Amino acid sequence: MTMMRTLSIVKPDAVHKNVIGQIISRFEKNNLQVVAAKMVTLSEREAKEFYEVHKERPFYQDLVSFMTSGPVFIMVLEGENAVEKNREIMGATDPKKAADGTIRKDFADSIDANAVHGSDSLENAKIEIAFFFDAKDLQTRTYASCR
């Protein structure tokens, strides 16, 4: 068990459904903490670069069009085994195959519009976090109560 960070994106379909809060709530209930967040509309260039690993896949252009179709909500999540835990909470890529209680089972409509992105390895998490956030924008979740 090691503390780690991962990148999560609430995709345009889930933002449109107004379920950003319900999605964050699932992470929080599973002890993942938000340490950075922003809402942006990705440019064509950003979406293409972010999903470059898929550029030879037949769905690449559709994926880029979908990811730029409306705002996305991008977060860095921190916690024990954050990468793996996030993938479990998200569920399978195809919502038809996603387990009960997962985000994709409950909020995704199709394999294209599947509600969330999550990094698939620690190595990719580091690359993806750096793609969207400067190191100084990642918070340390300390708290000192003021009496």
* Site of interaction with ligand IDP (CB under 6 A): 54, 59, 63, 93, 111-112, 114, 117, 120
The answer to whether residues 89 and 8 touch, using CB atoms and an 8 Å cutoff, is no
Catalytic residue among 13, 15, 117, 125: 117
Separation CA 93–CA 113 (nearest Å) = 10
Separation CA 65–CA 69 (nearest Å) = 6
Closer by beta carbon to ligand IDP, 26 or else 117: 117
Residue 125 C-beta: closest distance to ligand IDP, Å: 12
Indicate which of ligand IDP, Mg ion, none lies near residue 114 (CB less than 5 to 8 Å, by partner kind). ligand IDP
Closer by beta carbon to Mg ion, 106 or else 120: 120
Could you tell me the two tokens for 60? 């690449």
Give residue 8's region: left, alpha or beta (phi > 0; psi -120 to 50).
beta
Separation CA 20–CA 26 (nearest Å) = 10
Separation CA 72–CA 31 (nearest Å) = 23
C-alpha distances in angstroms, 138 versus 6, 17, 38, 131? Answer: 12, 27, 11, 13
Indicate which of Mg ion, ligand IDP, none lies near residue 46 (CB less than 5 to 8 Å, by partner kind). none
Closer by beta carbon to ligand IDP, 68 or else 114: 114
For this structure, is 54 an active site residue?
Answer: no
x/- map, 113-132, Mg ion, by CB under 5 A: -------x------------
Indicate which of ligand IDP, Mg ion, none lies near residue 9 (CB less than 5 to 8 Å, by partner kind). none
Find the residue with minimal CB distance to Mg ion.
Answer: 120
Catalytically annotated residues: 117
